A and B are shown apart, each in its own frame.
Chain A
Amino acid sequence: MSEMAIKLENVSFSYPTNEGEEQKAVNGVSLGIEEGSFVALVGHNGSGKSTLAKLLNGLLTPTSGRVLVYGVDTADDKKIFDVRSSVGMVFQNPDNQMIATNVEDDIAFGPENLGVPREEIIRRVNWALEKVGMSEFRHATPFKMSGGQKQRLAIAGVLAIKPRVMVLDESTAMLDPKGRDEVMAVVRQLNREEKMTVVHITHYMDEALGADRLIVMNDGKVMLDGKPADVFKEYKLLTKIKLDVPCVTRLAVTLAEAGMDVDPTITDEEALVDSLCRLL
């Protein structure tokens, strides 16, 4: 069993409401994120997944329970910098994360704040830009870029802090298909080559397919947790909690339910084509 990057112990979180009544956005969640794994986290709007993401790097601290990042409790104010430099976060809207008027400055912002020496900052900026494939844009201005480019830039900004875990909170939601592919390619590569632990929160079930592990949130709780192909076998349950399965699986499910001898748990397009060739 490899080391745990992040551990959640019976974590609950409630947002304060006007009426004084508390509603738990996250309700008694316990789980461990293994070092080096690629975890996808899905749930419908309001299922608590974004709240969970913010708990992972101490942007929110649990109302009850503990979140440990490499053994450090995120509720410990004195150690919050350790937590934030271990867990980097990329948000949904890249425009909200750009702070400088040129790319280099923007990426240098994180390490500068951590007091990293100048020479090292330059090295990190170069490295981060190369990792996201944007070296040629180093002097460009972020505001004129495409969504995919901006989001890769945001990832580079997080990389420059050299975190061990990267949390992507619906970071592909605002992008066009091309931008989405660009960002996912970069994230997968970081996971493979840099052994970066990735927690990817998404609405796109097709993106979740590529993960090592898929966690499904519903009503503030973990409802399903396993290999994506296994989780998608629960397609009935997923539909009930307002989620879907990948497109190919949905086709297979529909045909199986109509009465055809198709495996409803197919996730691969070629496999679907194969079984159709057999039947038609």
Chain B
Amino acid sequence: MQIVVKDVNYVYSAHTPFERHALKGVNLTINEGDFLGIIGHTGSGKSTFIMHLNGLFKLQSGEIDVFDIKLVPDKKNKSDLRRLRGTVGMVFQYPEYQLFEDTVEKDVAFGPKNMGLDDEEVKKRVKRAIGLVGLDYDDVKDRAPFELSGGQKRRVAIAGIIAMQPKVLILDEPTAGLDPYGKEQILSLITRLKQECSPTVIVISHDVDEITRFANRIVVFNDGKVMFDLPMNELFRHADELHAVGLEVPKAVRIAQKLRERGIELGDVVSLNDLLHAIVTAYNKKHMDEPVKTDVSFSAFDFDADGGHVCTQSGEDKR
């Protein structure tokens, strides 16, 4: 199963003074199981692109095939669109702004209900989704979403998407505006959702350091086109080209480069975790008599990595 995008163009406000060519012949294949990061500066077309993947933007030219659902320009097929939206779940920037029901349970149930599932199935999915995002179902189900903290609201919004059990999960700037702890929670949540719910995950982020934490492949958008589509360790060898389009390399890559210039070679380093491991390994090679711990991790906060509790008890950090 694949998502295949061929020659997709998109023009905003065509034939007006505000006309803008946002996508210029985009070709891309995304495989089932990919953990794909998309980067690009503001206005590079990355958000316009992902909106095509679940039919929020009508295709103007080109074709898109999402797990055998075929989209072509000018085709009106409601049942295809419905299937598409059940296949590709989209978590927008600041998704908590979209919460609207008076209880958490109703809000999360909105998506699956719209899919026409029976009440029992809806309830089952809502319960599971709320648990998956690390909230206590019994504790939050009857609460108003607006009573929750920022990080909790965001998790409820994500639960609303997860409840539709999409095969592909797309998140646009999932950690924007959160404090360091909330960020860590969402990042470990994404990894967990990939394992337990949606095997294919696409994340848009401004923060390259964050993307190196999980992606196995990165697509760089620039000026409406795919500039790079590479495995992560290869991408950041193109530091100069990235810099030219306003993108930075991850901090770990930069520090490894500085060390390289001073004669210390740490090998392929992309994430801060890679950097830490490379450092302690190099250290232990040189100081065999007094080795240091090798199970180092960059995160300041400990979460149960394999699906335990992503978050802490209820009632945390509420105002």
Which residues does A use to contact B, with CB under 8 Å? 15, 23, 25, 43-46, 92, 144, 146-148, 170, 173-174, 176-179, 203, 205, 239, 242-245, 247-248, 250-251, 254-255, 257-260, 269, 272-273, 276-277, 279-280
Contacts of A276 in B (CB 8 A): 259, 264, 279
A273 and B177 within 8 A (CB): no
Contacts of B182 in A (CB 8 A): 44-45
In the assembled complex, how far is the CB of residue A130 from the closest CB belonging to chain B, in whole angstroms? Answer: 24
Residue of A45, A176, A250 touching B206 (CB-CB under 8 A)? A176
B280 and A258 within 8 A (CB): yes
B177 and A46 within 8 A (CB): no
Contacts of B206 in A (CB 8 A): 176-177
**270-295 of chain B: CB within 8 A of chain A:** 272, 275-276, 279-280, 282-283, 286, 290-294
Other 10 A-B pairs with CB < 8 A, given A251-B272, A280-B286: A44-B180, A44-B182, A46-B318, A170-B177, A245-B300, A250-B272, A250-B298, A257-B293, A273-B258, A280-B283
A174 and B255 within 8 A (CB): no
Bound-state CA distance A269–B255 (Å) is: 8
A25 and B319 within 8 A (CB): yes
Does B297 interact with chain A (Cβ within 8 Å)? yes
A258 and B177 within 8 A (CB): no
A239 and B255 within 8 A (CB): no
Which residues does B use to contact A, with CB under 8 Å? 18, 41-43, 149-151, 176-182, 206-207, 209, 246, 248, 251, 254-255, 258-259, 262-264, 272, 275-276, 279-280, 282-283, 286, 290-294, 296-298, 300-301, 317-319
A46 and B41 within 8 A (CB): no
Contacts of B42 in A (CB 8 A): 146-148, 176, 178-179
A244 and B178 within 8 A (CB): no
A273 and B255 within 8 A (CB): yes
Residue of B246, B286, B319 touching A46 (CB-CB under 8 A)? B319
Bound-state CA distance A279–B287 (Å) is: 9
Contacts of A148 in B (CB 8 A): 42
Main secondary structure of the interface of B (DSSP, over half): loop
Tell me which of A15, A174, A276, A280 has the highest count of chain B C-beta atoms within 10 A of its own C-beta: A280
A45 and B259 within 8 A (CB): no
In the assembled complex, how far is the CB of residue B236 from the closest CB belonging to chain A, in whole angstroms? Answer: 15
Residue of B18, B151, B298, B301 touching A251 (CB-CB under 8 A)? B298
Contacts of B18 in A (CB 8 A): 144
Residue of A43, A177, A250, A273 touching B259 (CB-CB under 8 A)? A273
A242 and B179 within 8 A (CB): yes
Contacts of A273 in B (CB 8 A): 255, 258-259, 262
B301 and A242 within 8 A (CB): yes
Q: A144-B18, A146-B42 are in contact. Are A260 and B272 (CB under 8 A)?
A: no
Q: A144-B18, A239-B301, A273-B259 are in contact. Are A44 and B296 (CB under 8 A)?
A: no
Residue of B177, B209, B290 touching A247 (CB-CB under 8 A)? B209
B276 and A251 within 8 A (CB): yes
Contacts of B264 in A (CB 8 A): 276-277, 280
Contacts of B251 in A (CB 8 A): 247-248, 269
Q: A276-B264, A277-B264 are in contact. Are A244 and B272 (CB under 8 A)?
A: no
Contacts of B298 in A (CB 8 A): 250-251, 254
Contacts of B319 in A (CB 8 A): 15, 23, 25, 46
B296 and A272 within 8 A (CB): no
Bound-state CA distance A260–B296 (Å) is: 12
Bound-state CA distance A45–B179 (Å) is: 6
In the assembled complex, how far is the CB of residue B123 from the closest CB belonging to chain A, in whole angstroms? Answer: 27
B177 and A176 within 8 A (CB): no
Q: A258-B296, A260-B283, A280-B264 are in contact. Are A247 and B207 (CB under 8 A)?
A: no
A173 and B259 within 8 A (CB): no
B280 and A260 within 8 A (CB): yes
Q: A46-B318, A242-B179 are in contact. Are A177 and B248 (CB under 8 A)?
A: yes
Tell me which of B290, B294, B296 has the highest count of chain A C-beta atoms within 10 A of its own C-beta: B296
Tell me which of B264, B279, B297 has the highest count of chain A C-beta atoms within 10 A of its own C-beta: B279
In the assembled complex, how far is the CB of residue A272 from the closest CB belonging to chain B, in whole angstroms? Answer: 7
Bound-state CA distance A25–B317 (Å) is: 11
In the assembled complex, how far is the CB of residue B226 from the closest CB belonging to chain A, in whole angstroms? Answer: 19
